[in-house]
Structure 1
Amino acid sequence: MRTLLKAAFAFGRFNTRFHNLFQMQCDRQLSTNQVTKCPYEREKIRKEFDENGYTILRKVITGKVLEEVQRHVDWLLERYPDVPPEHLHHPILRRDPFWMRLVSDSRLLDIASMFIGPHIALFASHYFCKLPGTGKRVLWHQDGSYWPLEPMHVVSLWLSVDKATVQNGCLRVVRGSHKSALKELQSCTKDNNVLGSHTHSDVNDDDVVNITLDPGDVEIHHPNIIHGSEANTSKTRRCGLTIRYIPTTTRCTNPSHPVYILQGNDSKVNQYRSWPLFMSGYHMPFEGCEKWNSSRYVNRDDEEYLQCLTEKTLEEDVRREVKEVIDGLQSQRMRTQQQ
């Protein structure tokens, strides 16, 4: 089976037939036809999204998977105690098979397909974890101003891992602001904030909506919507997973940034990377992990590296790339302070 999948992927044939074969091996029901099975009121959701720039769906991820997501965050925080919890970034997650299992969950892909169609790739993902009493602010910004995507056809899903309240720094959006153009990023070091930058310093308070969520709820928003969050002043943690889905027709203009195909046909505008290997004893075990390596998406150009990977080299690569992300943010702050 694995040989068959490798041969298909090597020729770029991640078509419906092989996709369905892959998903059956994963014991999941994903297909390019699943958009017709979506349990949500599509027209109502799209109308709300088009008018406001965001919408909320309740109890999307439940049961054992939600328990595994919460355990995953605890596991990451314990494994990387020196990494600020707000910076559990793509370099960590893209080497983590449970994370890939989560972002390819049929319930999340069903939602994404309502906004970008059935042919779906993953651009980026990031746990924003604010610890009790210490979590930092996220200043007002538009996501699209950060991203090397062409065209800017992308949708963000914000999966609530913990209960998100006003007190612990829930997401806040400016209703209707997605109808405005993207603004240039401005560095900002006045506040101890997560991103070190913003696109807007002032917004109309009457249009600000606090997005309060329960674990397993999903908020969906437009790349142009102005949003941010306050610091966590409560005694409870607030963690959410951002997932940035793009149609396979959207190109990532940064060739070094890894992009992953999740569902549907490859439009040949990106080179899609292999899904991560599961390494027993290194990665967090999860339901289905014993079948993971024989059923994951494979790009043959990545396989020599992945098959020779050791726990030591994997850990070194993760920590090096995370350090580069954090150092980049710190350098940006220092440059701003010197101006």
Structure 2
Amino acid sequence: MTLNKKKLDKIKKGFDENGYILLNKFFDKNKIALIKKNLFNFLNKKKRNFKKKREIHFANTSKLINSVHHLKWPYIQKFRGNKKILKIVKYILEDDLKNFGAEVFAKPAKVGMPAPIHQDNFYWNVNNGKGVTVWIALDESTKKNGAIFYYKKSHKVGLLDHKCSYAPGSSQELENKKILKQFKKFTPELNVGDILIHHCLVVHGSKKNLSKNDRAGLTLRYIGKSSKINKSQKNKYEKDLKKQI
């Protein structure tokens, strides 16, 4: 992918309009397959070291990993420093960047759990809304195996009220879902190596994975260098989280 100004303008226009953008064939699928293998080898070896209900969640009563938060994987820095990703995200946010963590949403076959409808910034508490998630498809992602879905343009309404969801790995959900009637729901389908970049205010979620295929995604999070964390909102979120862990 050549990232000239015309291409960057097109990406930013789509992102600004809908709250997300899909970029196909961003990574070579064979490289991603190898990365997935190495990542899950690391996670399965280290899973006992993660804090349960805070850093790692398992799919129902199984020993299969459903999600990992605050990911500390040595290889993640190489991913995070990808020049094309950095160039796109800087262009979208119109700001220099700060790393804001990484996560794995494994959603294993047959037992993968849903993610309640939410906005990322209810967790992040970024004061100016300058934040994005880069969602990297480690598996094919379809409606059948619990693909992420978005409510188009919902990032334009600002931060909405949430409530405790009591869902492992996704502790908050939108309180008033009636507002979603004004937005079109869209479920992008991804191949291995495709990426999604979404705004921290776009409303999204995903359903259970009852299929025979895994639906793993690796996420990189960035906020603007000018962004600050709203401490009062962060404290409220942490208080709500403690009720659930």
Give me the TM-score of the superposition, normalised by structure 2.
0.80
State the partner residue of 1:198.
173
Q: 1:204, 1:253 → 2: CA distance?
A: 29
Instruction: For 1:98, give the aligned amino acid.
Output: Y
Classify the secondary structure of the residue corresponding to 1:113.
helix
Give me the TM-score of the superposition, normalised by structure 1.
0.59
1:215 partnered with 2:195: no
Whether the aligned pair in 2 keeps the contact of 1:137 and 1:193 (CA below 8 Å) is no
Which is strand-richer, 1 or 2? 2
More relative contact order, 1 or 2 (CA 8 Å, 6+ apart): 2
Name the CA shift for 1:236/1:245 in 2 (closer, same or farther; >3 Å): same
Superposed, which structure 2 residues align to 1:132-281 within 5 Å? Answer: 132-189=109-166, 194-200=169-175, 202=177, 203-204=180-181, 207-252=184-229
Name the CA shift for 1:193/1:207 in 2 (closer, same or farther; >3 Å): farther
State the partner residue of 1:107.
84
User: Which one of the candidate residues 7, 15, 21 is aligned to 1:55?
Assistant: 21
Q: 1:230, 1:193 → 2: CA distance?
A: 14
Whether the aligned pair in 2 keeps the contact of 1:60 and 1:107 (CA below 8 Å) is no
Classify the secondary structure of the residue corresponding to 2:244.
helix
Classify the secondary structure of the residue corresponding to 1:149.
coil
Question: How many residues are treated as equivalent by the alignment?
Answer: 220
Structure 1: any 5+ residue segments left out of the alignment? Answer: 1-36, 258-327, 335-339
Query: How far did 1:200 drift?
Result: 4.2
> Cα RMSD (Å) of the superposition?
2.5
Which is helix-richer, 1 or 2? 1
Whether the aligned pair in 1 keeps the contact of 2:67 and 2:107 (CA below 8 Å) is no
State the partner residue of 1:89.
69
Name the CA shift for 1:181/1:252 in 2 (closer, same or farther; >3 Å): closer
Structure 2: any 5+ residue segments left out of the alignment? Answer: 49-55, 59-64, 235-239
Q: Percent of aligned pairs with the same residue?
A: 26
Query: How far did 1:168 drift?
Result: 0.8
Instruction: For 2:67, give the aligned amino acid.
Output: H
Q: Which deviates more, 57-66 or 206-215?
A: 57-66
Query: How far did 1:63 drift?
Result: 5.6
Which one has the largest radius of gyration? 1
Query: How far did 1:224 drift?
Result: 1.1
